[in-house]
Structure 1
Amino acid sequence: MSVRALGTRLFKHGTAFIRHICKRDLNTTTIAEKINAGQQVTSTQPSKVFNQQVVPRNFGLRNVGVKIGLQARRILIDNVLNRVTNSLAGELRKKAARRILYGDSGPFFALVGVSLASGTGILTKEEELEGVCWEIREAISNIKWHYHDVDIDESRFENSPLTINDLSFGKPIAKGANAVVYTAKIRTPDEDNETISLAEKVNSDSKEVSAAKSKKIRTESSDDITKYPFALKMMFNYDIQSSAMAILKAMYRETVPARVYYSNVGISDWEVDLSKRNRHLPPHPNVVAIFSVFTDYVPELEDCRGLYPAALPRRIYPDGEGRNMSLFLLMKRYNTNLEGYIKSTPPSMRTSVLLLTQLLEGIAHLTAHSIAHRDLKSDNILLDTSEPDTPILVISDFGCCLADKQHGLMLPYSSYDVDKGGNTALMAPEILGQQPGTFSVLNYTKADLWAAGAIAYEIFSCVNPFYGDKNQEKLRSVNYNEDDLPDLPQDVPFVIQMLVRNCLKRNPNKRLHPEVAANVCQLFLWAPSSWLKPGMVKLPTSAEILQWLLSLTTKILCEGRINNKTFSYPSEPVESGSNKPSVEGNVQKVGRRTYPEYLLISSFLCRAKLSNIRTALSWIQSITYELDY
């Protein structure tokens, strides 16, 4: 033991012993005691009546994270501050500890940053460095980003669920085998209420049924996304009885990313039943924003007889085969999908890398919550092109997803009746080639990552080898040879080329974990260039990685907060000394980066762990070593 450490311990224990003898009032209440006291006080307060019409996500876990985070923060603070032995700074340490403990991360990041920059060695233990990563994740997670910022007054529907009657519709924008999507907006109270809620009008009374038949939901011809900022997805219902409970149970996969469930009947029982067998997916910048899920009667919308006549109920179309009620999902409206975006405007190389990174971030988020999409393809990936050079990518259409709480990503495969998901062309080889059996299992841990590797060819403006075309033979995932995979264009960075190759390894054990794969792209975009040079012999130390993470955190907390606001300045030159943000066409910049780039960095920091970053750096080092030699 060093003299410095020995002196610290003697001073600490000696002071405690003297104070004990003098019987001073030390106010030694521990954090755990404070929490327990808070729980006792809270328990004496009357419980609030739970609104059965609106059920927020994760309502049972609101305070658990706060308690655990408070204890973890106290342990880390004690370990750091107790290693500073200058007795003259004792009072300052106490004040800083109080500020840090109760939620102000500024002094904490300042302390850590000075320590790392000066090389004083305050932080040396690996646990303490990971603790700083925990602080970074907490600080960035508390930022309220506007990545799905749409004008919706959710308080309006607190006491009554959203219905078809509350919406106005534009034109249809997409139609698939199982659903149709219309542009929509929420009607304001002062608008003429010309629509009829079929849920209220259609009942057993034949006269009211006839009246409902003659009515039609009003639609408007405007296709302006600012006027119709929402998209309403109506599922086709052919064989499920017209009951809210039955419909929600049968179509629960579609609702996995939803924020709130709405229903006219039985919502509390439905939520309990869903929580027992299904997983929830928290909001994420790269997952579609679904604001509301509700059941209602199928309305007569524009061009419904021409687009989906078979899905209509007989009260609307005599030859229809659909049921009266179905499931509706109100979501943010996106400009286009990945397929249409690439065909219309081939992206630049940097834009392509940003799109791939966002796709991997979305997959990492799903995997972290034990959810597999199982139907990834370019028309299920939507883009917000408000900033054309850096569009925001989101994963949508969860109708084939696996979100089973009991089995997670390891689904027992006892017979061919078990659903493997959709889109067999982009189904991973370990899924498509698996045979049923008593002990057979479908492992979806890296199945979505494999699909992302195939979609990467489209992102870089190439033909997807598993789709093929007239000039290229189609590969089959069940029996393809890795050497038959076509090369990406030469201008695609070598690290990205090798990452795509790794994602398409036939053996899932040879693929990177989705979180590590996303880290590779994030490191390529933002890490110091010296870390990515071929022939890098020595990996950066944990302290160096942490310095880099703190630098990114500072950019997000400072520049990102400013860039997270909405500006309305016209596209014109900015005068010298002006505080207005620079505007380049439709791309708004504050600082060095665009808003989607800050959003992408924040996604990375929200899950940053030193171990996973080192794994990604080691993989980059291994492939660059091969390139160098």
Structure 2
Amino acid sequence: MAVRQALGRGLQLGRALLLRFTAKPGPTYGWGRPGPAAGWGRGERRGWAAGPGAEPRRVGLGLPDRYRFFRQSVAGLAARLQRQFVVQARGGAGPCGRAVFLAFGLGLGLIEEKQAEGRRAASACQEIQAIFTQKNKLMPDPLDTRRWQGFRLEEYLIGQSIGKGCSAAVYEAAMPALPRHLDVAKSIELLPARGPDVIPRGEEEARVAGAPAFPLAIKMMWNISAGSSSEAIFSTMSQELVPASRVALAGEYGAVAYRKSKGGPKQLAPHPNIIRVLRAFTSSVPLLPGALVDYPDVLPPRLHPEGLGHGRTLFLVMKNYPCTLRQYLRANTPSPRLATVMTLQLLEGVDHLVQQGIAHRDLKSDNILVELDADGCPWLVITDFGCCLADASIGLQLPFTSWYVDRGGNGCLMAPEVSTAHPGPRAVIDYSKADAWAVGAIAYEIFGLANPFYGQGKAHLESRSYQEAQLPALPESVPLDVRQLVRSLLQREASKRPSARVAANVLHLSLWGEDILALKDLKLDKMVGWLLQQSAATLLASRLTEKSCVETKMKMLFLANLECDALCQAARLLCSWRAAP
């Protein structure tokens, strides 16, 4: 039946093309209307005449670009039919002409059927994507119930230092309920005149059992060159505000409303694998625990006589995560499957950045936070956007006109197209696949090996000069699909490297699509059927438990980002890797 329908459709289209290329304008008949041949020759519908001033309606195949070869073949065949079989087409074609005409029609019918199959698959992917885009829920906001609070440093209870980098220090924090009476304020030692309440390390255990935990983290930027005005601070440190929510920049209680200038940094849409800044405000620099030991040189002179910092700086409030990826890997060795899921989370986060036109440019295990679910499975979150490229005017294409142009923060994990770039009047660095390359390097750490681009000695590689044959092999316990993907992500030529979306789809199919990949004749209709099954199972799993497990969340992300072309490309990559000897 399918062949008969394809043949019938092909014959219809073939007859239309043949008449269009071979027929001459026919005489007028009936009430002065032109004959059918004239209408088809001009591309009009049969039986309809173009009115005065109206444009004639064109009849075309409407084939997409990927069928360009077939269109050229059809055009060549039509030209030969016009030259060789014009007489037979008008006066009754012989056996040879009918055979060629039949082949011509069958070819067009098969192309039409293939195109219809692609349209059905694309439509199904869009419908599934729409459903799971609404179902995807972000992590709960610890300050959601305090919408107009948290814009003053004095409102927070600050604990001990969590860590520090090259431009900021991070402290654990909490925001207790505001005291209504002075007696309550004295009982919890929170006085407005004191500034932020700081708990010394020795007093933590002496507090009552009802003492607040620290669900938040405050990042205090080091202000050396931005000046002391809030406007200048927000402008100079604007990259840190890329993952900030709209409420974070509301500007209540003395904070300055941050208004993006034309061509300024973008505001990143929320994503489960990317940090969310809950509050952003400026305040005077306090003397926090460990400041005189850890970073005395960046303190203002009023706190340290030899300090170079300004008296006011930017504070960012975020959710407090237990550890970084580096700290987690020091204490834990994830299984190959769990490590694959962790790598997949990074690719999902990077793909979201690329879709938003943002490049992180400083991906490393210290800039990835980890939170454990009820089963102990890690959930990864990308943080620290201080070196990101988020310029709305240039997107991911950075003009590299001189060596003074900032190319990013992490030189060891800088993609080859970035590290080998040379400045010039028309030089441009494409960052669309740079973060995906960094994920490929971090994957070595996740799977239990040393990062080949760190350290010294013969085993140390440099992104500027390494060859793909020098990359160390991942353990045999790692699935073949993952090993091949990591090597593909670390290819020197960006054009040969898969995008973050395709790479994520490869891992999704490798983890959960073994049944569909095992089919010898994989077609789009079968892929759509598998996607519908996965959608139903994922929706059911998310409804059965209040807190979905990590794998269920990853399936929901996969279905919320469905793209038919990217999915087919990932399936072809997997099939080619598995078919290779």
Q: TM-score range by the shorter chain?
A: 0.7 to 0.9
Matching residue of 1:432? 419
1:624 aligns with 2:566: no
Q: Distance in 2 between matches of 1:301 and 1:170?
A: 9
Matching residue of 1:288? 275
Aligned equivalent of 2:545, options 563, 576, 595 = 563
Aligned equivalent of 1:491, options 466, 477, 480 = 477
Alignment of 1:290-439 (within 5 A): 290-387=277-374, 389-439=376-426
Please give the secondary structure, in 1, of the residue aligned with 2:171.
strand
- Tell whether the 8 Å contact from 1:184 to 1:229 is kept in structure 2 after alignment: yes
Q: Distance in 2 between matches of 1:308 and 1:411?
A: 33
Alignment of 1:577-588 (within 5 A): none
Alignment of 1:65-76 (within 5 A): none
- Tell whether the 8 Å contact from 1:217 to 1:300 is kept in structure 2 after alignment: no
- Tell whether the 8 Å contact from 2:150 to 2:175 is kept in structure 1 after alignment: no
The one-letter amino acid of 1:430's match is E
Please give the secondary structure, in 2, of the residue aligned with 1:192.
helix
Matching residue of 1:42? none
Residues 620 and 153 (structure 1), Cα distance of their counterparts in 2 relative to 1, 3 Å cut: closer
Q: Distance in 2 between matches of 1:374 and 1:496?
A: 23
- Tell whether the 8 Å contact from 2:279 to 2:316 is kept in structure 1 after alignment: yes
Matching residue of 2:523? 541
Please give the secondary structure, in 2, of the residue aligned with 1:505.
coil
Q: Distance in 1 between matches of 2:329 and 2:308?
A: 37
- Tell whether the 8 Å contact from 1:390 to 1:597 is kept in structure 2 after alignment: no
Q: Distance in 2 between matches of 1:170 and 1:552?
A: 45
Matching residue of 1:605? 559
Please give the secondary structure, in 2, of the residue aligned with 1:129.
helix
- Tell whether the 8 Å contact from 1:430 to 1:507 is kept in structure 2 after alignment: yes
Q: Distance in 1 between matches of 2:514 and 2:134?
A: 27
Gaps of 5+ in 1: 7-120, 202-211, 566-593
Residues 228 and 150 (structure 1), Cα distance of their counterparts in 2 relative to 1, 3 Å cut: farther
Please give the secondary structure, in 1, of the residue aligned with 2:412.
helix
The one-letter amino acid of 1:327's match is L
Residues 448 and 144 (structure 1), Cα distance of their counterparts in 2 relative to 1, 3 Å cut: closer
Alignment of 1:423-462 (within 5 A): 423-462=410-449
Q: Percent identity?
A: 35
Please give the secondary structure, in 2, of the residue aligned with 1:142.
helix
Q: Distance in 1 between matches of 2:370 and 2:318?
A: 13
Encode CA deviations 1:182-221: one digit per residue, 9 max, x unaligned: 0111121236275567xxx8xxxxxxxxxx7xx6742254
Residues 136 and 301 (structure 1), Cα distance of their counterparts in 2 relative to 1, 3 Å cut: same
Matching residue of 2:156? 167
Q: Distance in 2 between matches of 1:353 and 1:128?
A: 31
Q: Distance in 2 between matches of 1:306 and 1:327?
A: 21
Encode CA deviations 1:368-405: one digit per residue, 9 max, x unaligned: 11110000111111100234642100111110000010
Q: Distance in 2 between matches of 1:131 and 1:340?
A: 44
Matching residue of 1:255? 241
Residues 340 and 149 (structure 1), Cα distance of their counterparts in 2 relative to 1, 3 Å cut: same
The one-letter amino acid of 1:496's match is V
Matching residue of 1:148? 139
Q: Distance in 2 between matches of 1:405 and 1:220?
A: 44
Q: Distance in 2 between matches of 1:549 and 1:144?
A: 17
Matching residue of 1:177? 166
Aligned equivalent of 1:136, options 128, 144, 147 = 128
- Tell whether the 8 Å contact from 2:255 to 2:282 is kept in structure 1 after alignment: no
Q: Distance in 1 between matches of 2:490 and 2:126?
A: 32
Residues 217 and 315 (structure 1), Cα distance of their counterparts in 2 relative to 1, 3 Å cut: farther
- Tell whether the 8 Å contact from 2:347 to 2:439 is kept in structure 1 after alignment: yes
Aligned equivalent of 1:518, options 504, 525, 533 = 504
Q: CA deviation at 1:345?
A: 1.1
- Tell whether the 8 Å contact from 2:174 to 2:212 is kept in structure 1 after alignment: no
Encode CA deviations 1:24-77: one digit per residue, 9 max, x unaligned: xxxxxxxxxxxxxxxxxxxxxxxxxxxxxxxxxxxxxxxxxxxxxxxxxxxxxx
**Matched residues, number:** 457
Aligned equivalent of 2:175, options 167, 186, 192 = 186
The one-letter amino acid of 2:140's match is D
- Tell whether the 8 Å contact from 2:243 to 2:269 is kept in structure 1 after alignment: yes
Q: Which of these two proteins has the greater Rg computed from alpha carbons?
A: 2
Q: Distance in 1 between matches of 2:161 and 2:356?
A: 33
Matching residue of 1:575? none
Q: CA deviation at 1:266?
A: 8.6
1:528 aligns with 2:514: yes
Q: CA deviation at 1:552?
A: 2.1
Please give the secondary structure, in 2, of the residue aligned with 1:430.
helix
Residues 263 and 186 (structure 1), Cα distance of their counterparts in 2 relative to 1, 3 Å cut: same
Encode CA deviations 1:554-575: one digit per residue, 9 max, x unaligned: 223222134244xxxxxxxxxx
Q: Distance in 2 between matches of 1:355 and 1:132?
A: 28
Residues 331 and 393 (structure 1), Cα distance of their counterparts in 2 relative to 1, 3 Å cut: same
Please give the secondary structure, in 1, of the residue aligned with 2:306.
coil
Encode CA deviations 1:394-451: one digit per residue, 9 max, x unaligned: 1111100000101111100111110000111110111011000011011111111111
Q: CA deviation at 1:135?
A: 2.0
Q: Distance in 2 between matches of 1:564 and 1:400?
A: 37
Please give the secondary structure, in 1, of the residue aligned with 2:185.
coil
Aligned equivalent of 2:199, options 219, 224, 228 = 219
Give the alignment's TM-score, normalised by structure 1. Answer: 0.68
Alignment of 1:66-145 (within 5 A): 125-143=117-135, 145=137
Q: Distance in 1 between matches of 2:318 and 2:120?
A: 41
Give the alignment's TM-score, normalised by structure 2. Answer: 0.74
The one-letter amino acid of 1:271's match is R
The one-letter amino acid of 1:619's match is L
Q: Distance in 2 between matches of 1:287 and 1:386?
A: 17
Higher alpha-carbon deviation: 130-139 or 423-432 = 130-139
Over aligned residue pairs, what C-alpha RMSD do you find?
2.7
- Tell whether the 8 Å contact from 1:164 to 1:296 is kept in structure 2 after alignment: yes
